[in-house]
C-alpha cells in the first residue's frame, strides 16, 4: 500500500525510529489493512472511519490480545492518520475517536541492591574471556542504565576509562555521555585485557563487546547472559536486560538522584517516561514508614 509505504519511510528517514519500532508499526498497519479487506472489502486504510477502527480493536480484545498490545496498535493508527492529516491527504484523524480501556500502571521490575551486589561480586574474579565479558556487560548495564541496542552497538572508541564515561547514541541518533562507576571501569578493563588476547587470534571489530569468535554480539545472546545470572541470584519472573535498566534508575533515585538527571542519563525524551520510577521510590518510603513509625 502506497499510504503505508510513505508513512514507514517517514518513520525511518525523518523520525529516525529504531528498526524494532518501525517493524512494529508496519505489522500493526498491515494487520488492520487485512482486517478491512476481509470484513469490509476495503483496500485503502485512508477510507476507514472510527467505527471500523473500534470494531477491529474490539475483535483484538475478544481474541485475547492484551490491553497493552491493543493500546499500541491504536497508537500506531493514530500516528499513521496524523501523518496523512499533516500531508493534507485526509482532514480528520479517525483513530482519535476510538478508545480502549485505561491501562493499569505497572511498576518497573528491579533487582534488590543486595542481590545485585552479590551477583556482581560472584563474577569479580573472572579470569577468562567469556566470564570477563559477561561481568563487564552486567556492570555496564547497572552502572549506566543503557538500552540493549545501545550496548550491542557501543564502539570501543566511545569508552573513556580515564574519564570514567561512555558516549552513547540512543533513540533517534541522540548522543549522550554517561558517567561510569569505578567498579564498572574495573570490570571493563578486565574484559578489555581478555579481549586483546582474543583479538590477536580473530578479526577485529569496532564494537566493544564481541563473541569468542570475534563477531559482533546479538540481542538473543545478551538476553541469555543476563537471564543466566539473574536466575541465580533473584526470583524475579522478568530477567531481561531492561530489568537492569530499571534497576539502575530505581537505585539511584532511591539514593537521592534528581529526576531530571535520571531522565538525561536514560535518554528519555520526556520526564513522563522517567516518572514511573518514582513509584518504586514511594513504595520503599511507605515500607520504611510502616516499619519505623510507632503508630503506623
Task: Supply the residues annotated as catalytic.
Answer: 147, 171, 242, 245, 268, 277
Q: How far apart are the first and last CA of the chain?
A: 62
Q: How far apart are CA 45 and CA 289, in angstroms?
A: 54
Cβ of 206: how many Cβ atoms within 10 Å? 12
What does R_g of the chain's alpha carbons equal in angstroms?
23
For every residue of 56-101, DSSP letters joined together read HHHHHHHTT--HHHHHHHHHHHHHHHHHHHHTTS-SS-GGGG---P
Cβ of 226: how many Cβ atoms within 10 Å? 21
Q: How far is CA 199 from the centre of its chain?
A: 30
What burial class does residue 234 get, using C-beta atoms within 10 Å of its C-beta: 0-12 exposed, 13-18 middle, 19+ buried? buried
Amino acid at each position: 500500500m502506497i499510504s503505508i509505504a510513505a508513512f514507514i519511510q517517514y518513520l525511518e528517514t525523518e523520525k529516525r525510529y529504531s528498526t524494532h519500532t518501525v517493524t512494529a508499526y508496519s505489522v500493526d498497519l498491515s494487520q488492520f489493512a487485512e482486517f478491512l479487506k476481509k470484513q469490509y472489502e476495503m483496500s485503502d486504510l485512508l477510507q476507514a472511519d472510527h467505527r471500523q477502527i473500534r470494531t477491529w480493536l474490539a475483535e483484538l480484545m475478544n481474541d485475547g490480545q492484551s490491553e497493552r498490545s491493543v493500546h499500541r496498535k491504536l497508537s500506531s493508527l493514530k500516528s499513521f492518520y496524523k501523518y496523512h492529516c499533516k500531508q493534507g491527504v485526509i482532514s480528520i484523524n479517525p483513530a482519535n475517536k476510538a478508545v480502549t480501556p485505561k491501562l493499569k500502571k505497572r511498576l518497573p521490575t528491579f533487582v534488590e541492591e543486595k542481590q545485585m551486589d552479590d551477583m556482581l561480586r560472584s563474577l569479580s574474579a573472572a579470569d577468562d574471556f567469556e566470564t570477563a565479558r559477561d561481568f563487564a556487560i552486567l556492570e555496564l548495564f547497572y552502572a549506566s542504565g543503557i538500552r540493549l541496542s545501545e550496548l550491542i552497538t557501543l564502539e570501543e572508541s566511545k569508552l573513556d576509562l580515564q574519564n570514567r564515561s561512555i558516549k552513547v547514541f540512543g533513540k533517534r541518533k541522540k548522543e549522550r555521555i554517561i558517567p561510569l562507576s569505578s567498579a564498572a571501569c574495573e570490570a571493563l578493563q578486565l574484559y578489555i585485557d581478555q579481549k586483546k588476547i582474543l583479538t590477536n587470534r580473530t578479526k577485529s571489530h569496532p564494537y566493544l563487546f564481541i563473541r569468542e569468535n570475534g563477531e559482533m554480539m546479538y540481542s538473543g545472546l545478551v538476553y541469555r547472559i543476563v537471564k543466566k545470572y539473574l536466575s541465580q541470584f533473584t526470583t524475579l519472573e522478568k530477567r531481561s536486560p531492561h530489568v537492569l535498566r530499571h534497576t539502575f534508575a530505581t537505585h539511584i533515585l532511591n539514593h537521592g538522584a534528581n529526576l531530571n538527571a535520571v531522565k538525561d542519563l536514560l535518554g528519555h525524551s520526556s520526564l513522563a517516561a522517567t516518572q514511573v520510577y518514582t513509584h518504586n521510590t514511594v513504595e520503599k518510603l511507605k515500607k520504611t514508614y510502616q516499619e519505623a513509625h510507632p503508630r503506623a
